[in-house]
Amino acid sequence: MNRPESIQTEQSSSAAWWRRAVVYQVYIRSFADGDGDGTGDLAGLRARLDHLVELGIDAVWVNPWYPSPLADGGYDVVDHRDIHPDFGTLAGADALIAEVHDRGLRILIDLVPNHTSIEHPWFQAALGAGPGSPERQRYIFRNGRGPDGDEPPTNWRAVFGGSAWTRVDDGQWYLHIFDTSQPDLNWQHPEVRDEFDDIFRFWLDRGVDGFRIDVAHGMIKDLSFPDVAVDRLDERGQRTPDGSHPHWDRDELHVLIRRWRAVLDDYDDRMMVAEANVHPDRLPLYVRPGEYHQSFNFDLLKADWSADDFRSIIDGAASRAAAIGAASTWVLSNHDIVRHATRYGLPPGTDYERWLLDGPHEVLDAEAGARRARAAVMVTLALPGSAYIYQGDELGLPEVWDLPIEVLEDPTWERSNHTVKGRDGCRVPIPWAKDGPSFGFGPGPAWLAQPPIFGDLSVEAQDGDPSSTLNLYRTAISLRRDLFRRDEELEILDLGTDVLAFRRGSGATVVVNMGSAPLPAADLPADEIVLSSEPLIDTDLPPDTSIWFAPPA
């Protein structure tokens, strides 16, 4: 497929586009429903591209859109070379790619190499063919332990809860690091490796600009199957500092990364970003020359609203990236975590998963959360590297924490024996209009009902209001081009314990008051204020507010 001129021209530019991009994440089920069946789809996305252009973003990342039983929201793929019928068709994807390019934007898609769906033809063939068959070699089947083999082969735990092994009718067990519906592929198998080379090419040939690689720290397992030390059994085991975990972040997986990178390098100007949930010291390994172009930095997802935390995360990530010539990525929210407008309204140290289920919900200060979320995006958009925005962030959407348990779809809810409510509350469909059965998401009700407050937060409600969160995002993204995109220099400034402040290579300064008292004007730079996250009543900087100062005249 020919790529449009506007895209080709920039390929020769020395600054790779993805190093400074603003990437907008589309959770396709919940973005916009074009055909009226209650589920978001490609038609809905195509119809709303102008919203993204107006926002000023550079690229769209679309969550998995493949045929799938949607047991894990589409991260359970049946066919990597097609589109889920609820979302559209391959022809619709081609049209979307072309329309995205026509608008001068780029498109990343989500690739899921660690596992497939149990409904994938390979897994169905493996079940049918029985123990010892070549079909079983493409997955990880093993006999169980104990005299009757009725204990799992190892003590490994699934991320969504329970054992990472499920037993099939003939007595063998298969490995699934996530849900039981997501069997792990055996990446030691040459057919698996070849298949994914081909899948990469399939989409590259169709014109996608890159990939977000799911569970980039998975794939390779220690096939001698040691048990995991008991104190590392929970998900924190993913973030060990030394690559010694039997199924997370193993050194051998870098061979795969290099192989995929070689495939991408056959094409002009494409990129891949790793979803590698690893120890911060291990992250640079993923973005060495010849490996990923970028890796998500998830540390801000876990940070409290605290200048100390933000400072040390930003300083650490930026210096690690600079040391190896990589570009950082900044993420405040995504489809896997409580939205940051809600996180920042909770007391420091809150365990979000526990809070969702058990509360106490009255501790939530939604107004402070919304204010802090606005201040926070003025941080991520001003840092060197690329900023990822999750759909609805630009509307200041909160987590829908009070979803009734009957509507929950996240497999976590069942797998955790109803102890973890899961991620549905950040996946509620986007409100486009003030009214209507799904606030403009589609002509009828949405697959997951939205709360009444979504009308006031809709695009329609915010569009013409100069003080809205939507217009703050639009203005900030536009100003970012001149103030923060031209270089990758960062100097952290000391303006006090509760203040996050830094200066960029352009000379522009960012100051965020993360404390509870106003910051006196005398402590602020004397430069011109170009943007603030809240209206400034006097010259002091109020709590929970960010300011961008222009470079000195």
- Which residues form the catalytic set? 214, 275
Q: Nearest distance from residue 137's CB to ligand NOJ, in Å? A: 22
DSSP secondary structure string for all residues of 365-383? -HHHHHHHHHHHHHHHTTS
Contact letters (x/-) for ligand NOJ, 296-335, by CB under 6 A?
Answer: ---------------------------------------x
Cα separation, 60 vs 547, in Å, equals 27
Of 28, 107, 108, 215, the one binding ligand NOJ by CB under 6 A: 215
Q: Which single residue is written with the structure tokens 């509760």?
A: 498
In the complex with ligand NOJ, the residue whose CB is nearer, 71 or 499, is 71
Q: Nearest distance from residue 411's CB to ligand NOJ, in Å? A: 8
Helical residues (DSSP H) of 206-252, grouped into ranges: none
Helical residues (DSSP H) of 236-345, grouped into ranges: 253-265, 283-286, 307-323, 340-343
Angle at 342 between CA 339 and CA 343, to 5 degrees: 80
Residue 394 binds ligand NOJ (CB under 6 A): no
Q: Which phi and psi angles does 54 have, rounded to 5°? A: -65, -30
Q: Nearest distance from residue 63's CB to ligand NOJ, in Å? A: 8
In the complex with ligand NOJ, the residue whose CB is nearer, 19 or 29, is 29
Q: Nearest distance from residue 277's CB to ligand NOJ, in Å? A: 8
273-292: which residues touch ligand NOJ (CB under 6 A)?
A: 275
Contact letters (x/-) for ligand NOJ, 428-467, by CB under 6 A?
Answer: ----------------------------------------
In the complex with ligand NOJ, the residue whose CB is nearer, 72 or 249, is 72
Of 178, 344, 441, 549, the one binding ligand NOJ by CB under 6 A: 178
Cis peptide bond upstream of 226, omega within 30: no
Tokens of 247: 């199924």
Cα separation, 181 vs 70, in Å, equals 10
Residue 214 binds ligand NOJ (CB under 6 A): yes
Contact letters (x/-) for ligand NOJ, 43-72, by CB under 6 A?
Answer: -----------------------------x
Residue 336 binds ligand NOJ (CB under 6 A): yes
In the complex with ligand NOJ, the residue whose CB is nearer, 214 or 393, is 214
For helices 253-265 and 190-205, angle between their N-to-C axes, nearest 10 degrees: 30
User: Closest residue (Cβ) to ligand NOJ?
Assistant: 75
148-177: which residues touch ligand NOJ (CB under 6 A)?
A: none
Cα separation, 217 vs 298, in Å, equals 13
In the complex with ligand NOJ, the residue whose CB is nearer, 214 or 291, is 214
Q: How many binding residues for ligand NOJ (CB under 6 A)?
A: 9
Tokens of 551: 């470079």
In the complex with ligand NOJ, the residue whose CB is nearer, 276 or 510, is 276
Angle at 48 between CA 43 and CA 51, to 5 degrees: 165
Contact 290, 261 (CB under 8 A): yes
In sequence order, the 6+-apart residues with CB closer than 8 A to the CB of 154 are 164, 165, 225, 226, 227, 228, 246
Of 65, 75, 203, 401, the one binding ligand NOJ by CB under 6 A: 75
237-276: which residues touch ligand NOJ (CB under 6 A)?
A: 275
Contact 159, 235 (CB under 8 A): yes
Q: Nearest distance from residue 259's CB to ligand NOJ, in Å? A: 21
106-125: which residues touch ligand NOJ (CB under 6 A)?
A: 112
Contact 353, 406 (CB under 8 A): no
Q: Which residues bind ligand NOJ (CB under 6 A)?
A: 72, 75, 112, 178, 214-215, 275, 335-336
